[in-house]
Chains A and B, each alone.
Chain A
Amino acid sequence: MSDLSARSVRRSPLHLKTAEACVSDKWIRACGFTVPLVYTNEREECEALSARAGLADISARHCWRIDGPDAVAFLGFATTHDAALIEAGQTTRVLWCDDSGFVRGEGGLSRIGSRCFELTSVVDDFAWFADGAIGFDVSVSDWTGQRGGLALRGPNAEAILALAGFGASSGTDPVKGPTTSDAAEQGQILLLRAADGVELWMDAAGLGLVWDRLMRVGAGFGLQPIGAGVLSLDRIEAALPQPGVDWVPAQFALRQADLRVPLDLGVEPGLMRRFNGVEALLARRQGCGSKLVQLRSSKPIPLAEVIGKGGSAGHVTSAASSPATGRHLALAWIKDEFARPGAMLARPATSGALDIQIARLCHS
């Protein structure tokens, strides 16, 4: 369920570079692309990420371009975010819902011109947007595979970025989310700053050059390629849930219990604004009764049910153990009555119960 894409397997635009660096020859499929799971070994990559810097190929995402006079109106109706509030060069996390108000997907919406936007997501939902555009003066085109992204993370990331000549002047706005420096100044490279690092998005043709440049400049800072395995660990440490792993997009949900409304994913859209599914949300006005939380424990946390006082408290959706720090973390859906930072839960086991603590709420 982690890959929500079609059955085709494609190479990332950076495949030749990553294949050269991937000495472990361990690969994984993501969004229809094959990407390195680990380049050397997980411990090394974890250490690089926490102590120096790591560079990852994040091109394995769906990328759609929405262009036309009605782009703002269309995206304003298609997503839970008012696209008019996104400034040129800015990126915002957005959700989109089905007609019943259940979340179909989430992604990063970047404004790359007055009437041109780019939406990247791990959820394959191009047809939904393309069909939804009927009646709007916009074109929705699929740029997946033609755009590529790099994630630069770790304590030395900013220094490497500055030395490589990419957007040292851009800052992070905690209210508006990640911001970019001027896209035109950077030769159409979108520089996105997020809580867990920096992302650079560009046309696939230029991706190899930028990879080489960052690796060359970063060599003196201990920069190392990091694979999908360590990226996943990083995601769990940052308490960032992933569609298809931690929650099920509505179009893939087989059970009513798997459906999520925006509130469940930490988004409170203004219900006075018209967007797809808002009527149903107005009628419902409540979440699924559980919250996504980050758990920590002294031992590895299994992907299983966890117990609170009086019975089942919820279930773990993704878990990881850091070989570098020795931390054992997980993300889980926990019922509202148990979902408080610091609350203690347990996982029964034959060798004795495993104590688990709620570290924080994912969307707080």
Chain B
Amino acid sequence: MPDVMPGQDFDVIVIGGGINGLVCAVLLAQARKRVVLLEAQRRMGGMCRTDEIAPGFKVSTLAHLVGPLDAEVMKQLRLTKTGLQFSARQIGAVALSPDGRHIILGEDLRHTAQSLSAHEANDAKAWAAYATTTRRLAQQLHAWTQKAAWPPATGEGARAPLLANHWRRAGIDQAAATQLDLSIAELLERTFRGHLVKGALALDAVMGNSFAPTAAGSALLPVMRRAFEPRGTNGIMHPAGGAGALISVLEKAADVAGVRVRTGARADQFLFENGRIAGVHLANGEAVYAPHVISSLSPVQTYLKMGAERDLPFGFKRRLRGYRMEGTVAKVNLALAGLPTFKALDKRHLKERLLVCLSLEELMKAHAAFEQGQIASDLALEATLPSIHDPGLVRPGGHVMSINAMYVPHRFGAGDPEAARKELVSAVVSRLRQMAPDLPDMVVGVDVYLPQDLAAIGDGAGCHWHGGDLSSDQLGVLRPAFWGAAPAPVVPGLHLCGAGTHPGGGVTGTNGRLAAEAVLRAMQVGA
């Protein structure tokens, strides 16, 4: 017998218990709204989870790093006071080289310059200019990432909501705006001469996206990532206990704030009354009512697959149909019997993100294979060894390695997933052996997620690392799709809070905060 609850049970329903859904729910509950959070899975977390992949080996199985966390969220949710600890902060990157001439890409300009000069003397100077410009632009874009994106109500900008309008309003000069329009490949070719630095920085920029490093506008990505926290105070971090620990803390915050959390509650249809949202229908037949529904599911799932599609403006619907959100990243987690030996790499640098991409050409080849539905023999990788700074994750002497592999097509392994997983692991291990020859012998456990596996964990509509490509046509007011100049939801009462909204993906909590602020404003004006 379905448990149908008539009337308005809650002020707000939040769908999805990932970081953004949780942040949004807690902020609304703190504002004295009656909030219910519906999570389809049996546990919370979405893409943030810590699992045991082999006896005595725990790791962040999906998203392996967090941040920069939204400062306002940290403050309002008192995250550090409720037990959130980080085993590493300001995590930088190392461009791994098979010959041991690794490049350290961190906050310390001098250190980076030294490692760069081992490849190309001129690149050391170029790095200083590159890093300074990136920081300056990030500072200018910071405000843009921290508030809801709306175009001007009138004038050309209202009709042509291009990022250029944002840059103009953000006070970014023409020369800098021109740089943001470039492809990351072109920017790096103009700036550096060494192949390794260009390959690693290009990989770092496009990681998770389906476009090639030659895509126009991709030079924005490193700036945008930095813009969340221009000063890099905390930067990219690793929660002690893995990404799942962050979710545990948020769950506690939700409990304290009075959020009613329901797991195993899959929302499958929206309910409407007089053209506005009235609640959601659950897969178990139950109905939950509230005048505001906030979805952290993908925009496509939310708007086109749950009953709202009929009332959508055609232009909005068309944009959503073209929204690019197919996954490009596969996740491989390795349980290791010991610490692999990376030639000539100081152990203190093993806490950084280890980037494996030897040149721009290599990354382009990987993308070309991706376009044909295949994986390249030389996969581009971003790996972390969290057990270096968080030994509690593993049994004594052991280590875990968490690896994002690019570019892996969404349909890779559609016919035989198990064979595809084996092929992927083999390709990843073989690639890592070039950098750490003893690594294959240390593998005692493997955990693999193809893009299609990530889709199954999410809402099924997509499995994009960032909730949709971070391309210039899917950012700002265009994320997920342009809807007029008024800050009103396209379907009255229905809001988004996931990574498919401005300012894009990453474990930051900003999307959830912005959604909570928008809903509180809507409640004030009775929208």
Please list the residues of chain A having a beta carbon within 8 angstroms of any beta carbon in chain B: 78, 98-100, 127-128, 131-132, 134-136, 256, 259, 274, 276-277, 279-280, 283
In the bound complex, residues from chain A placing their C-beta under 8 Å from that of B461 are none
**Do B156 and A256 touch across chains, with their CB atoms under 8 A apart?**
yes
Q: Determine the residue in chain B with the shortest Cβ distance to A277.
A: B313
In the assembled complex, B125 has its CB within 8 A of some CB on chain A = no
Q: Is the pair B312, A135 in contact by a Cβ cutoff of 8 Å?
A: yes
Of all chain B residues, the one with the shortest Cβ separation from A278 is B313
Q: B310-326, CB under 8 A of A: which get 1 and which 0?
A: 11111111100100000
Does B159 make an interface contact (CB < 8 A)? Answer: yes
Task: Indicate if B155 sits at the interface (CB-CB under 8 A).
Answer: yes
CB distance from A264 to the nearest CB of B (A): 16
Q: Please state if A78 and B314 are interface contacts (CB–CB under 8 Å).
A: yes
Picked from A127, A256, A259, A280, the residue with its CB within 8 Å of the CB of B484 is A280
CB-CB nearest in chain B for A137: B310
Q: Taking the complex as formed, is B483 at the interface, i.e. its CB lies under 8 A from any CB of chain A? A: yes
> A276 touching B318 by the CB < 8 A rule?
no
Query: Do B484 and A132 have beta carbons less than 8 Å apart?
Result: no
Which residues, 434 to 482 on B, are CB-close (under 8 Å) to A?
none
Chain A residue at minimal CB-CB distance from B310: A135
B309 with A135: CB separation less than 8 A: yes
- In the complex, the 8 A-B pairs of residues with the closest C-beta atoms, listed nearest first: A135-B309, A135-B310, A132-B314, A99-B313, A99-B315, A131-B318, A276-B314, A134-B309
**Is B315's CB under 8 angstroms from A98's CB?**
yes
Among residues of A, the one whose C-beta sits closest to the C-beta of B154 is A256
Q: Are B318 and A127 in contact (CB under 8 A)?
A: yes
- 8 additional A-B pairs beyond A127-B318, A256-B156, A276-B315, beta carbons within 8 Å, are A99-B315, A131-B314, A131-B318, A131-B321, A135-B312, A135-B317, A136-B310, A279-B484
Given known contacts A100-B484, A276-B314, A256 and B155 CB-to-CB distance under 8 angstroms: yes
Interface residue B162 (Cβ < 8 Å from any Cβ of A): no
In the complex, what distance in Å separates the CA atom of A135 from the CA atom of B484? Answer: 21
- Show 18 A/B contacts (Cβ-Cβ < 8 Å), sorted by A: A78-B314, A99-B314, A99-B315, A100-B484, A131-B314, A131-B318, A132-B318, A134-B304, A134-B309, A134-B321, A135-B309, A135-B311, A135-B317, A136-B310, A256-B155, A256-B159, A276-B314, A280-B484
| Residues in chain B within 8 A of chain A (CB atoms) | 155-156, 159, 275, 304, 308-318, 321, 483-484, 486
For residue A131, which residues in chain B have a CB less than 8 angstroms away from its CB?
A: 314, 317-318, 321
- List residues of chain A with CB within 8 A of the CB of B159: 100, 256, 259
Q: Closest Cβ of chain A: how far from B413's Cβ, in Å?
A: 29
Chain A, residue nearest B315 (CB) = A99
* Closest beta carbon of chain B to A281's beta carbon, Å: 12
Instruction: Return the contact of B316 from the options A99, A128, A274, A283 (Cβ within 8 A).
Output: A99
In the assembled complex, which residues on chain B have CB atoms less than 8 Å from the CB atom of A99? Answer: 313-316, 483-484
Residue of B nearest to A279 (CB): B484
Which residues of the partner chain A approach B309 to less than 8 Å between Cβ atoms? 134-135
Task: Please name the residue on chain A nearest to B312 by beta carbon.
Answer: A135
What are the residues of chain A within 8 A of B304 when measuring CB–CB?
Answer: 134-135
B313 touches A276 (CB 8 A): yes
CA distance A271 to B159 in the complex (A): 22
Contact with A132, one of B155, B156, B308, B317 (Cβ below 8 angstroms):
B317
State whether A128 and B484 are in contact (beta carbons under 8 Å apart), knowing that A134-B309, A256-B155, A256-B156 are contacts in the complex.
Answer: no
Q: In the bound complex, what is the Cα–Cα distance between A111 and B125 (angstroms)?
A: 71
Greatest chain A CB density within 10 A among B156, B275, B312, B313 is at B313
A256 to B484, CA, bound (A): 15
Q: Which of A99, A131, A277 has the most CB of B within 10 A?
A: A99
Collect the chain B residues with CB atoms within 8 Å of residue A132's CB. 314, 317-318
Chain B's closest residue to A135 (CB) is B309
Which residues of A are found within 8 Å of B316, using beta-carbon distances?
A: 99
Candidates B308, B318, B483; contact of A128 at CB < 8 Å: B318
In the complex formed, the residue of A with least CB distance to B307 is A135
A270 CB to closest chain B CB (Å) equals 16
Q: Which B residues are CB-close (under 8 A) to A277? A: 313
- Chain B positions within 8 Å of A78 at CB level: 314
Residue of A nearest to B314 (CB): A132
Task: Give the nearest-CB partner of A74 in chain B.
Answer: B310
Residues of chain A lying within 8 A (CB to CB) of residue B321: 131, 134
Q: How far is the CA of A279 from the CA of B484 in the complex (A)?
A: 10
Name which residue of chain A comes closest to B482, CB basis. A99
Q: Give Cα A128 to B486, complex, Å.
A: 23
In the bound complex, CA of A131 to CA of B481 (Å): 14
Which residue of chain A lies nearest to B308 when distances are taken between CB atoms in the complex?
A135
CB distance from A116 to the nearest CB of B (A): 20
* Alpha-carbon distance A254/B51, docked complex (angstroms): 54
For residue A274, which residues in chain B have a CB less than 8 angstroms away from its CB?
A: 275, 311
The answer for the CA separation of A215 and B253 in the assembled complex, in Å, is 83
Contacts of A134 in B (CB 8 A): 304, 309, 317, 321
- Nearest CB on B from A337, distance (A): 23
Question: Which residues from B are CB-within-8-Å of A283?
Answer: 486
| Chain B min CB distance to A126 (Å) | 12
Q: Specify the chain A residue showing the minimal Cβ separation from B153.
A: A283
A1 to chain B, nearest CB (A): 19
User: Which residues on the B side are within 8 Å of A98 (C-beta)?
Assistant: 314-315
CA distance A103 to B300 in the complex (A): 26
B156, B275, B316, B321 pick with most chain A CB within 10 angstroms: B321
Please tell me which one of the listed residues A128, A279, A280 contacts residue B314 in the complex, with CB atoms under 8 A apart.
Answer: A128
Q: How far is the CA of A276 from the CA of B317 in the complex (A)?
A: 11
Chain A residues near B483 (CB-CB < 8 A): 99
Return chain A residues, CB-CB under 8 Å to B312: 135
Q: Which residues of A contact B318 (CB under 8 A)?
A: 127-128, 131-132
Q: Chain B CB within 10 Å — which of A128, A135, A276, A280 has the most? A: A135
